[in-house]
Amino acid sequence: MRPLAPGDTIGIVSPASAAQGTVYEDFSRIAESRGYSVKVFGETEPTFGRMTGSDRNRANSLIAAFEDDEVTAVICARGGYGSGRLLSHLDPSRVKNKIFVGYSDITNLLVHLNTMCRITTFHGPMAADLAGKNDPDTMRWLFSFLEGKRLAYDLSTKDHRVFRSGEASGMVFGGNISTLETLIGTESWSMPEGAILFLEDTNEFMYSLDRSLVHLQRSGVFEKASAIIFADLQLKDASDRDNSIGFLLEELLEIHFGDFSGPIIFDAPCGHTQRQMTIPLGVQARLEAAHDGSRLEFENFWNCHVPSILAA
């Protein structure tokens, strides 16, 4: 894997739900303005439910993007639903070590490619996000990472809140909570010991978040984590105690992580947020969490494979 450079080609794939409107045209204009060309793989309209083709066809389109020598980076058109249906149709030996970007339902592929193919993946905005929001920070963060110009974030007090201060190092692992927990117990799941666990979700009720946290705790996920980063979760009913479970978010965190010794931050600008950080997964990082500002710094991962612990 290497960073993007002017003249490179970005492939767009639709492994889950079909993108709507002028996403492909709008993203192409954005990419071309930065000196890149764009190549679309597979169908763009919903022909299999709300998905762009059968599971096997969508898997073949994804593999075609990875095998295309002209393509340096592969970005998903959107999430929605359906990428988990592809996993049994993917041949890891055909996945080349390239940039791969997505989030939400695409967590299935981010984690699967980490585990089975030992490549770094990027939890970040998709074509539909860039075409629709066009947030300057989101755009800057994505391309500064993909172009090899950024390896750290300095988070101000406006960008996040700190539940527990401290410092920790480990491999970054995680993604969308609702999707991530469905991978537990499958061949796609291989969480490294001492991981910096990243979790995001959206449009869920507080009771649903609590249920997921219970599941992750009982599955031993938190025991293996050295630190936890919660995105701004965009919950349906988190503003006061008159919600579906009767606890504020901070109280729920205290219930689940009162005995957790590592640093925990929450409300970070990533995932289903207007401003969205790009987070490389399967790379070593260090989190320094402090109430007056935090820092998340990644080791240089270019031209590297994910360590074999993720392929166990």
Q: Which amino acid would we find at residue 94? A: R
Distances (CA, A) of 262 to 43, 73, 265, 289: 45, 34, 10, 10
Q: Which of 17, 104, 178, 190 is catalytic?
A: 104
104 is catalytic: yes
Q: Where are the beta strands (DSSP E) in the chain?
A: 9-13, 37-40, 71-76, 99-102, 121-123, 152-155, 161-164, 166-176, 195-200, 225-231, 264-268, 279-281, 284-289, 294-298
Helices 249-257 & 206-218 angle (0-180, nearest 10): 10
142-46-36-139 Cα dihedral, nearest 10 degrees: -20
For residue 279 the two structure tokens come to 């987070």
Measure the CA–CA gap between 140 and 155, rounded to whole angstroms. Answer: 15
Q: Which amino acid would we find at residue 129? A: D
DSSP class of residue 48 equals B
Contact criterion met (CB below 8 Å) for 31 and 142: no
Q: Which of 28, 61, 83, 200 is catalytic?
A: 200
Which own/partner contact pairs does 41-44 have at CB distance under 8 Å and 24+ positions apart?
41/11, 41/12, 41/13, 41/65, 41/68, 42/13, 42/14, 43/14, 43/18, 44/14, 44/18, 44/19, 44/77
Distances (CA, A) of 153 to 104, 139, 159, 262: 21, 14, 10, 19
Contact criterion met (CB below 8 Å) for 47 and 61: no
Q: Which of 123, 160, 256, 272 is catalytic?
A: 272
83 is catalytic: no
Measure the CA–CA gap between 265 and 290, rounded to whole angstroms. Answer: 9
What positions carry a catalytic annotation?
104, 200, 272
